[in-house]
Amino acid sequence: MDQKRRTFLKVAGISTLAGLGAATGVGRLIGGAESAMAAAEEAQVNASAQNGTGQNAACGDACINRYGMLIDARKFREDPTLGERVVLACHREHNVPNIPIKKDEIKWIWMTHYDNAFPEQANLYRDEVNAQFQLPILCNHCDNPPCVRVCPTQATFRNADGIVMMDYHRCIGCRFCMAGCPYGSRSFNWSDPRPYIDSADMNRDFPTRTRGVVEKCNFCDERIRKGLLPACVEACGDSKAMVFGNLNDPNSEIRQMLKQHHTVQRNPSLGTLPSVFYIV
Ligand code: SF4
Ligand code: SF4
Ligand code: SF4
């Protein structure tokens, strides 16, 4: 393991979590700060044991599929309205509140600049095209997800499709997972989100959340189980700006496209093995 990964795991697994535990009082909930640190240390060891084969302790044999996404950033440059459409489609589908206070924002998918999405690639002389345009980012549904390993209640877990899910009822709001995620893909509900959901837009078939729980993109698990595409992918129409499919199936469209194009993942050196790929 290189030094960068070691440092990340250490920071995500121990130091930051201990700080958060103290800040939130969660240490009391799981038996004190020391046991929180011991749990985080064990998580770090488990994460270190990941062998790079695609199997990992967070899911192992239970993962039958590994769903993934390919995002073609070029399409988002060609059509600057596309970004807004995918964000709206996701947030409407999942009753994501529109909280105007920046620090309290809840985001499942959002647009950002290249250098924010790919800090490892950032340099002073970034080409103008990538410096100017934005691309969508979301949870990477990592194959080696640190967020899952550090959750003390298994409120976040990988399902049989390799999707990193949330069980809102088990979430105690400790935010260990937020410290563990190196992509900022998770949001915390500092207040009751329901007043910030436009009732005219509310999806009555999807649960709303409560104050004190974490939420994030669920790869539209509820839709794919019905044979539908994720809402953001559907919002792209036939453009192929976003392609979704099973990475474990060599014949899937996403696997074929990954074969044909040069793609990048976000912060690959951290060893999280993101399931979201980008053509930039
Ligand atoms: S992007 Fe973050 S929240 Fe999503 S699976 Fe990876 S570590 Fe977990
Ligand atoms: S999912 Fe909830 S319980 Fe688990 S680490 Fe995150 S905030 Fe804590
Ligand atoms: S996959 Fe579904 S939950 Fe995730 S960003 Fe797209 S629409 Fe939202």
pLDDT single digits (tens) 260-275 = 999 999 999 999 999 9
Ligand 3 mean position, distance from CA 253 (Å): 18
Name residues contacting ligand 1 (CB within 6 A). 139-142, 145-147, 164, 181, 183, 185-186, 216, 272
Q: What residue owns the CA closest to ligand 3's atom 6? A: 232
Q: What percent of the chain has pLDDT above 70? A: 78
Name residues contacting ligand 3 (CB within 6 A). 90, 93-94, 108-109, 138, 217-220, 230-232
- Sequence length of the chain is 280
Amino acid at 122: A
Within 13 Å and on the Cβ side, how many CA atoms surround 231? 22
Q: How crowded is residue 51: how many other Cβ atoms within 10 Å of its Cβ?
A: 9
Q: Is the CB of 36 under 6 A from ligand 2?
A: no
End-to-end CA distance of the chain: 28
pLDDT, tens digit (0-9, with 9 covering 90-100), for 182-236? 999 999 999 999 999 988 889 999 999 999 999 999 999 999 999 999 999 999 9
Quick one: CA dihedral 157, 159, 164, 170, positive or negative?
A: negative
Ligand 2 mean position, distance from CA 97 (Å): 19
- Structural domains in the chain, sorted by start: 3-279 (3.30.70.20)
Burial class (CB in 10 A: 0-12, 13-18, 19+), 156: buried
Amino acid at 166: M
pTM of the full structure: 0.82
Mutate to test the pocket of ligand 2, among 17, 148, 175 (most ligand atoms within 8 A of CB): 175
Listed in sequence order, the DSSP H helices in 181-225 are 221-224
